[in-house]
Chain A
């Protein structure tokens, strides 16, 4: 009965490869997010989708492309991986359309290591 799940939990890959991280939520929420946590544990938002529509797009390289096939899923595809992409990526979801007061529920994270 996991609320927000991510796969894989760990991802080790070579520079230049393309990889995807999947996220699913079973809470019936309308909004989903991707955050990046760097080696100093600093969390920064990357993207947000509401009902499959992109609503937040931070200054993220074009190599990162989120895809939302339906409101329960938000996948993150990364092209041409670089060393600096190594981080923990967290997916989250919240109930509302704009969600400013809503609690965001986080997934367990995906630790990406680029060699």
Chain B
């Protein structure tokens, strides 16, 4: 069965620090990969997604992620975080034969200190 693993449960950074959140998935076939963000008190919204082409994907608010097929990874990065990036971050995957079924990771809570 497919699974998604996010290594960091809670990350605490100071403003301007660089961010990298790990995400690994287990599935041998073609996958589509997503990062969603949930700001405090708000609904989930898409940060970025990858389904083909350049494995380095740029999203909103300065976030980017790199798909490394050999490592089954899709890590999220941001060179300089802001206090407003404080949120819960979810990595998710779906595959071509399962419709829109998203498999989510456990989430990583990011706290940015001003």
The reply on A89 being an interface residue by CB < 8 A is: no
Interface size class of A (residues with CB under 8 A): 20 to 34
Contact flags B39-60 to A (C-beta < 8 A → 1, else 0): 0001111100101000000000
| Interface residues of B, count at CB 8 A | 25
Q: Evaluate contact between A41 and B100: CB separation under 8 angstroms.
A: no
Nearest B residue (CB) for A33: B100
Contacts of A18 in B (CB 8 A): none
- Knowing A41-B88, A55-B99, A108-B43, say if A100 contacts B104 (CB, 8 Å): no
Chain-A contact segment, one of B61-69, B70-78, B90-98: B90-98
Are the CB atoms of B42 and A108 closer together than 8 Å?
A: yes
User: How many angstroms from the CA of A86 to the CA of B66 in the assembled complex?
Assistant: 36
Report, nearest first, the 6 A-B pairs whose CB atoms are least far apart: A99-B100, A43-B104, A106-B44, A101-B51, A106-B43, A108-B43
**8 A-B interface contacts by CB (under 8 A):** A31-B99, A31-B100, A42-B104, A58-B101, A100-B95, A100-B99, A101-B32, A109-B43
